[in-house]
Amino acid sequence: MQKIESPKNEQIKQIKKLQQKKYRQQQGRYLLEGWHSIKEALNNQPEKIKLLLVEADYLATVAPLAEQATGAQLIEITPRVTEVLSETVHPEGVFAVIDNQATVVEQNDQPRPWLVLDRVQDPGNAGTMVRTADAAGFAGVVFSEGGIDPWNSKVVRSMQGSQFHLQVLQVPDLKTWLLAQRTAGYQLLGTLVDPNATDMRAFQPASGAYALVLGNEAHGMAPELAAEMDVNLYVPIFGHAESLNVAIAAAILMYQLQLN
């Protein structure tokens, strides 16, 4: 097994570059930190793991599962290397380099819905919505261009490994992607902060074949997308708040639609 002791090692320098969006895009990979999320990768999509970098204290825990990632190299690192690679306050000393190309996750015979994020900016919101979509049984989450990078380290930490249970992808033209889903038989459901939209309590999807679109935190859905929706839904406000946090609204809508 290879051991890297110096944070100035050239391979470590190249891995650290994955903390920047342009290098993630160039290489089609991102850096994943923390044993919980890496264990989800090993148990669900081990083929996505290209490298495992582990401090000595974690080797006995990681090594047995690492055998599932047949194409991955296991490297021992020192605490000094961990300090350079980590973006957390209390790092565990376990990292993985992950292929971020979209992978089709096996579906049941019944169609499952998609969550679509139109220019969502906040990494905590985005990661939380991926995790909630996973819990709600969605097929995947689509990120638009102009929003947060789904492989931003803060987004990935908020996902808590859910990206290995469903599909996560970013598309260059969200309108084109949505219209293709309609052609495939999916209903397009938008969301508006507008009491004149359809109250979510009065709507029931025809099947699990729908795409639910949530808009930007400050501006909501783009008007050109809202105009293409089959239905635009509204989450009723009973108090005096002007609106809900987008991740909270997404959770309410996903569960409302799934329970109908």
What is the tens place of the pLDDT at every residue in 93-133?
999 999 998 765 555 567 999 999 999 999 999 999 999 99
Question: Please, which residues have CB within 8 angstroms of residue 83's CB and are 6 or more apart in sequence?
Answer: 7, 91
Overall domain count for the chain? 2
Domain membership of residue 218 (yes or no) is: yes
Q: Residue 162: what pLDDT? A: 97
- Averaged over 167-189, what is the pLDDT? 96
Domain membership of residue 138 (yes or no) is: yes
Give the end of a domain, one of 99, 133, 167: 99
- Both 186 and 57 in one domain: the answer is no
> 91 is in which domain, residue-wise?
2-99
Q: Residue 260: what pLDDT? A: 76
Domain membership of residue 165 (yes or no) is: yes
- Both 91 and 192 in one domain: the answer is no
Q: Which tens digits make up the pLDDT trace of 39-93?
A: 999 999 999 999 999 999 999 999 999 888 888 999 999 999 999 999 999 999 9
The pair of three-digit structure tokens given for residue 168, joined into one six-digit string: 């996560």
Domain membership of residue 38 (yes or no) is: yes
Domain membership of residue 108 (yes or no) is: no
- Both 137 and 64 in one domain: the answer is no
Beta strands in the chain (DSSP E): 2-4, 29-33, 49-55, 73-77, 94-99, 114-117, 140-144, 167-171, 187-191, 198-199, 210-214, 231-234
Q: Which tens digits make up the pLDDT trace of 25-37?
A: 999 999 999 999 9
Domain membership of residue 83 (yes or no) is: yes
Q: Which residue has the tokens 């839904």?
A: 233
pTM (2 d.p.): 0.93
Give the end of a domain, one of 36, 66, 99: 99
Residue 84 exposed, middle or buried by CB count within 10 Å (0-12, 13-18, 19+): middle
Domain membership of residue 63 (yes or no) is: yes
- Both 94 and 123 in one domain: the answer is no
- Both 154 and 253 in one domain: the answer is yes
Give the end of a domain, one of 69, 99, 129: 99
- For the cut 70, the answer to whether the pLDDT of residue 202 exceeds it is yes
Domain membership of residue 42 (yes or no) is: yes
- Both 94 and 121 in one domain: the answer is no
- Both 69 and 149 in one domain: the answer is no
Q: How far apart are CA 177 and CA 175, in angstroms?
A: 5
CATH of the domain at 33: 3.30.1330.30
- Averaged over 168-193, what is the pLDDT? 96
Q: Residue 160: what pLDDT? A: 96
Nearest to 103 by CA among 172, 157, 166, 149: 166
Q: Residue 109: what pLDDT? A: 66
- Both 130 and 250 in one domain: the answer is yes
